[in-house]
Chain A
Amino acid sequence: MTTTLARPAATDLEIRHAKQPRSGVLLTGAAWIIAVLFVLPVLWMILTSFHTEQDAAANPPKLAAPLSLEGYRSFFDSGPWPPLANSLTASVVSTLLVLLLALPAAYALSIKPVKKWSDVMFFFLSTKFLPVVAGLLPVYLFAQKVNLLDNIWLLIILYTSMNLPIAVWMLRSFLSEVPTEMLEAAQVDGAGLVRTLREIVAPVVAPGIAAAALICFIFSWNELLFARVLTGTRAETAPVFLTGFVTSQGLFLAKVCAASLVVSLPVLAAGFAAQDKLVQGLSMGAVR
């Protein structure tokens, strides 16, 4: 993920400071240093994943050790598909649900604001005040009572509710960027609500929706705390599966690096696929 986020930042800085050569050079340098700092651990992980366990654990590290697929072999031999499928289900379904609920909510908070809309916004934010871990035990006991332990639908519900406030906040700020003049002009031209939404609002906020969706996807894909406590043999997600490679007996670094790389691929792929929209989205609204 770091790569996708770091790169737009660099481009952005380059564009903005093209007219101020000296500070521009400094800032570009700083951006590069930060980008390299973020990317190095990832590169290190990739390199380690292609070493044998013995070379991966060597101290001082052996950079030029012969490459091996041993780590990947033991990862794929350990049956990673069910957890990956579980993670994909939980992330995709919860992201869709979040968008489905957050878009109308954000519309009602920006374009046609309801009464006391700022209180509503604050209410959404306040649901994030409680540390997640504080809600863990009640959620566990509740899930046990209603027979939802080790069920992927429980995670979908949780991830949806956890990401909903973030999505509402992000989408509201994107939607409020839509100029009122455009909406009025559309109304004057006789466009109804659905047409306005589809032809005026949607193109303007599409990058914002992409950014919000990606963030929700990443958060649910990477969530570990709830997944570890609430799942078992059937609804186990990829991050929980990943922790199983760390052992107190024997070497595991190459395996863990290979597993981590494979598990982060879907997020990277989603990031690259949405890159253009993201650059627009991230430099337009909430995260500017």
Chain B
Amino acid sequence: MRRRRKLLATGAAVAMATSVASCAGWGGGVGGGGGDTVNVLMVNNPQMIDLQKLAPQFTRETGIKVNFTVLPENDLRDKASQEFSSQAGQYDVATLSNFEIPIYAKSGWVAPMDDYIKADPEFDQADILKPMATALTAEGKVYGQPFYGESSFLMYRKDVLASKGITMPAKPTWKQVADIAAKVDGARPGMAGICLRGQPGWGQLFAPLTTVVNTYGGTWFDQDWTPKVDSPEFTQATQFYVDLVRKHGEKGAPQAGFTECLNNLTQGSVAMWYDATSAAGSLEMAGSPVKGKIGYAPAPVVKTKSAGWLYTWAWAIEKASSHQDNAWKFIAWASSKKYENLVGQRVGWSSVPAGKRASTYTNPQYLASAGPFAAQTKQAIESVNPNNPGLQPRPAPGIQFVDIPEFPDLGTQVSQEVSSAIAGKTTVRSALNLGQQLADDVATQYRKREGK
């Protein structure tokens, strides 16, 4: 009798536990509950958070429910490579950058979008800025749609330059920029000439530095995978960058990245800054102390015609996804002109995910808020060529990076040495000699693979 009661009690406990889990409905297999969902993996940048809040609008229009996983950038890269390499099929759509998409396309992890684009004239693929479309195309097929994009340009304090009687040339060279930096250094108490990233990381220091290397005529690798990190051009460019930031750069340069430089220019600690076009939105935001005081000039050049970089967070469809039609509907909504208007009306025009469509830059409402930098941003993005950014043909696409899976590791290791050179702990020569060895290790594998 007693034993039976104990058994009953145990059984009841198990049943209760089971029902707690099952009635809430979090079980189930891979691929989402039913046909009318789409699972989205995305980075937690502010534009994506806005999208998450506006997603109910998409559900109202299409009846498709959107489930999000939102992660910080580094976690997202880990999760995406895990998910896509194993083709687990947990997600239908993910935000990937123009660094990942061509690599993933080659590995067959993402689905081509050409058929969807053809069948969806309302999406208007021709409106996507050319370099963006190129950067997300591999072997003739489109594998990603940009959500927002950026290039790089020079931002400077118009009032500070004017007080020194300097005018910024319409197309400045790095020599001119260095001269101006010397003149405006100390123009106000505690103000340095220019802010340039010195924080280690392939996406930090080496984003602006590689564009300088490109325009000096240098490259990481030439077309047959010979490493060129200790070449005279690469060395000259790096020496110039390190000297400039050491002489007229911001305080704490070896630790300064995008955020630090943004703070420096906002708070008046520097007179110029060479960085992402997307920074302009923050500088011109209501309440910013430098609103209206900033001038914008194209990325400084030396031997090339243009020198800006190209970066975008774009939507890609996982090959293993069983809801690819829904995935496209979601992408076509999120990257549409209509969505930009929706953000403009509901969130504010300064928050529009810009830098991907030509039509954005003819939208009077957007121009009213982004006027000071809109034209320069569009011009910067349109002037770059992601497949041929320098003076020589390259073995892999990419402007501020080399689009191979080994680059994050290689770039980050070399950037640590260059950052030490900025701190004065080592020389540019010895930093790049080490970089050459590391680059050679990578290049050897590619030469072998290509039978050269």
Contact = CB atoms under 8 A, between A and B. Distances in A.
Given A93-B21, A232-B69, A234-B67, A151 B28 contact: yes
Contacts of B40: 233
A149 B73 contact: no
A150 B401 CA distance: 34
A236 to B, nearest CB: 6
Contacts of B13: 96, 100
B452 interface: no
Interface in B386-400: none
A194 interface: yes
A128 interface: no
A232 B72 contact: no
Interface in B290-304: none
Interface in B258-298: 259
Given A86-B26, A93-B20, A144 B86 contact: yes
B68 A233 contact: yes
B189 interface: no
Interface in B228-262: 259
Contacts of A194: 2-3, 6
B72 A152 contact: no
Nearest to B3: A194
B69 A236 contact: yes
> Which one of A141, A195, A228, A232 has the greatest number of beta carbons of chain B within 10 Å?
A232
Contacts of B364: none
A272 interface: no
B79 to A, nearest CB: 8
A140 B88 CA distance: 10
A222 B33 CA distance: 27
Nearest to B47: A249
A85 B24 contact: yes
A239 B88 CA distance: 22
A194 B2 CA distance: 7
Interface string B5-27: 01000100110010011001011
A89 interface: yes
Given A97-B17, A232-B39, A151 B29 contact: yes
A78 B20 CA distance: 24
A234 B79 CA distance: 15
A234 B26 contact: yes
Contacts of B30: 144, 147, 149-150
A249 B45 contact: yes
Chain B, interface residues (CB within 8 Å), range: 35 or more
B69 A152 contact: no
A221 to B, nearest CB: 15
A144 to B, nearest CB: 5
B90 interface: yes
Given A147-B30, A243-B75, A244-B72, A232 B17 contact: no
Given A92-B20, A140-B86, A156-B21, A244 B26 contact: no
B70 A150 contact: no
> Which one of A82, A152, A245, A248 has the greatest number of beta carbons of chain B within 10 Å?
A248
A126 interface: no
Interface in A239-287: 243-250
A56 interface: no
> Which one of A89, A100, A195 has the greatest number of beta carbons of chain B within 10 Å?
A89
A100 B10 contact: yes
B319 to A, nearest CB: 15
B17 to A, nearest CB: 5
Nearest to A194: B2
A229 interface: yes
Given A144-B86, A235-B26, A245 B21 contact: no
B72 A243 contact: yes
Contacts of B6: 194
Interface in A9-28: none
Interface in B57-74: 67-73
Nearest to A231: B69
A32 interface: no
Contacts of B27: 151-153
A244 B43 CA distance: 9
30 contacts: A85-B24, A89-B20, A89-B24, A93-B20, A96-B17, A141-B86, A144-B86, A147-B30, A149-B30, A149-B90, A151-B27, A152-B21, A152-B27, A153-B27, A192-B2, A194-B2, A194-B6, A195-B2, A233-B68, A235-B26, A236-B69, A243-B72, A244-B70, A244-B71, A244-B72, A245-B44, A246-B44, A247-B45, A248-B259, A249-B46
* Closest 5 pairs (CB-CB, A-B): A233-B67, A232-B90, A244-B70, A152-B26, A147-B29
Interface of B: 2-3, 6, 10, 13-14, 17, 20-21, 24, 26-30, 32-33, 39-41, 44-46, 49, 52-53, 67-73, 75, 79, 82, 86, 88, 90-91, 259
Given A93-B17, A233-B90, 7 more contacts: A82-B26, A149-B90, A151-B28, A151-B29, A152-B26, A195-B2, A232-B41
